[in-house]
């Protein structure tokens, strides 16, 4: 078939790769002039199966209330008049039960484990470099209550095959000596040796080049306006490119537009409960090699992730539910710098931090939409939230199987199946 993939982020680009591997003619459409320039541009860099505890869990409502008055809160809800925001928030509260959190952990661990394997196979097949490290991910806790709260999710992940181990502060320092400056404050940690890290933008752009070499067409600078339809079938998409309106047609379509997927889907009467969670990151040059980390880190109390990308340090996190604005909040930027400089003062040139913000397409459950829509030739691969990089290859491989009429190899609640 000829398939149009809408979106050239890490999810859309990996989708194009796996579809062309199965013999389809693929065209990718994106408003940017390159792949990976939106949410994939400067994310946290982790391939993190172990980061599977959803935001919606039994402890979340009280935390969100506590954080309402803090401008630098890890999860900040700024109420607006947007009905979509309130629908999302009410659905989020409905996901905060122990049973639903356990179900959602299962979805994310299964998809994450499968996706990591698919990434490793793709990396070997395509020969892609992207500053990746295979040294695991270490979650450290400076709040004893947060460490205790991590035990049950860790137990669930272990039961699902995720080798996330609970360790003490001494073992954490042994694994990552860069944490020595806060040794006396570490209440405990967990470590997942099979997790990885790498530059998502570099991966996406290098993979897009491999896709082109394999025959995939990329139409950059094309704004997607709306769908043309007849009954329960999509006939084409209307685009605007350099002032020219054009209708692009194909046999099938894949919606992978991140936070913008929901608005486009509504034109077809499809409701996707996706809302943008603005995330922040800083990127700084390494200052002292001996003081800098190599194991990717997660600071659970502050909801920050640390990745080593060659001679750069990337620290990303926090979430702001405030609409589609990408304006930088410098209070939140400075809070990331302040915390990372406190954790490892000599690791990076913290005064040279490059700030970035992007919109993560987040569902209330943190579980993405992957699979069929109720339109005969429209498929979904969107709503991955903070785990788009982690889940991209698995989502793409599974969706390619679904489009090809095969049952995916991973146990996951796919749409339309």
CATH of residue 320:
3.30.9.10
332 located within any domain: yes
Higher-pLDDT residue of 64 and 191 is: 191
Write out the H or E segment, with its range, that includes residue 92.
helix 83-94
Q: What is the pLDDT of residue 119?
A: 98
306 located within any domain: yes
Distance CA 392, CA 59 (A): 28
170 located within any domain: yes
Higher-pLDDT residue of 95 and 332 is: 95
226 located within any domain: no
Could you give the maximum distance between any two Cα atoms of the chain, in Å?
65
What separation in angstroms does the CA of 123 have from each of 13, 40, 119, 195, 381? 14, 18, 6, 15, 21
Q: Tell me: the pLDDT tens digits for 55-98?
A: 999 988 988 888 777 777 778 888 888 999 999 999 999 999 99
151 located within any domain: yes
Closest Cα to residue 395, out of 375, 374, 379, 378? 379
Domain residues for 314? 53-80+130-194+275-362
Whether pLDDT at 417 is above 70:
no
Which letter does DSSP use for residue 95 in this model? T
Helix extents (H) in 127-224:
144-149, 151-159, 169-175, 200-213
Q: Total domain count for the chain? A: 1
Q: Residue 193: pLDDT band by 50, 70, 90 thresholds?
A: very high
CA atoms within 13 A on the CB side of 298: 28
351 located within any domain: yes
Q: What mean pLDDT is reported for the chain?
A: 95
With a CB cutoff of 8 Å and minimum separation 6, the contacts of 312 are 131, 283, 284, 285, 286
355 located within any domain: yes
What separation in angstroms does the CA of 329 have from each of 66, 70, 260, 280, 320? 20, 13, 21, 9, 10
63 located within any domain: yes
Distance CA 15, CA 33 (A): 19
Q: Are 201 and 40 in contact (CB under 8 A)?
A: yes
Q: Whole-structure pTM over 0.85, yes or no?
A: yes
């Amino acid at each position: 078939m000829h398939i149009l993939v809408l979106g050239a982020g890490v999810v859309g680009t990996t989708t194009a790769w796996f579809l062309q591997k199965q013999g389809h003619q693929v065209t990718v459409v994106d408003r940017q002039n390159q792949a990976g320039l939106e949410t994939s541009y400067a994310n946290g860099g982790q391939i993190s199966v172990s980061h599977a505890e959803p935001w919606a869990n039994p402890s979340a409502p009280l935390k969100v209330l506590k954080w309402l008055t803090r401008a630098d809160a890890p999860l900040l809800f700024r109420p607006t008049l947007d009905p979509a925001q309130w629908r999302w928030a009410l659905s989020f509260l409905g996901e905060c039960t122990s049973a639903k959190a356990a179900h959602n952990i299962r979805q994310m661990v299964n998809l994450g484990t499968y996706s990591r394997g698919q990434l490793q196979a793709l990396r070997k097949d395509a020969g892609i470099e992207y500053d990746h490290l295979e040294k695991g991910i270490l979650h450290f806790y400076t709040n004893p209550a947060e460490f205790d709260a991590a035990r049950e999710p860790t137990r669930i992940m272990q039961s699902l095959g995720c080798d996330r181990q609970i360790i003490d502060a001494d073992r954490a320092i042994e694994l990552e000596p860069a944490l020595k400056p806060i040794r006396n404050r570490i209440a405990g940690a967990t470590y997942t040796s099979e997790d990885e890290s790498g530059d998502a933008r570099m991966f996406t752009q290098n993979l897009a080049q491999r896709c082109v070499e394999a025959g995939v067409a990329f139409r950059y600078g094309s704004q997607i306006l709306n769908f043309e339809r007849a009954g329960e079938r999509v006939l084409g998409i209307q685009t605007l490119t350099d002032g020219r309106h054009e209708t692009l047609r194909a046999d099938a379509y894949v919606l992978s537009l991140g936070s913008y997927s929901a608005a486009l889907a509504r034109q077809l009467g499809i409701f996707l409960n996706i809302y943008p969670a603005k995330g922040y990151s800083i990127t700084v040059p390494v200052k002292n090699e001996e003081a800098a980390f190599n194991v990717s880190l997660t600071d659970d109390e502050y909801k920050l992730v640390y990745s080593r990308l060659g001679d750069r340090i990337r620290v990303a996190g926090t979430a702001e539910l405030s609409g589609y604005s990408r304006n930088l909040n410098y209070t939140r930027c400075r809070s990331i710098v302040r915390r990372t400089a406190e954790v490892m003062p000599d690791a990076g040139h913290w005064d040279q931090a490059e700030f970035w913000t992007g919109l993560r397409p987040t569902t209330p459950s943190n579980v993405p939409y992957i699979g069929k829509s109720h339109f005969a030739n429209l498929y979904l691969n969107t709503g991955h939230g903070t785990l788009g990089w982690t889940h991209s290859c698995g989502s793409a491989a599974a969706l390619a199987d679904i489009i090809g009429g095969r049952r995916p190899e991973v146990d996951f609640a796919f749409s339309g199946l």
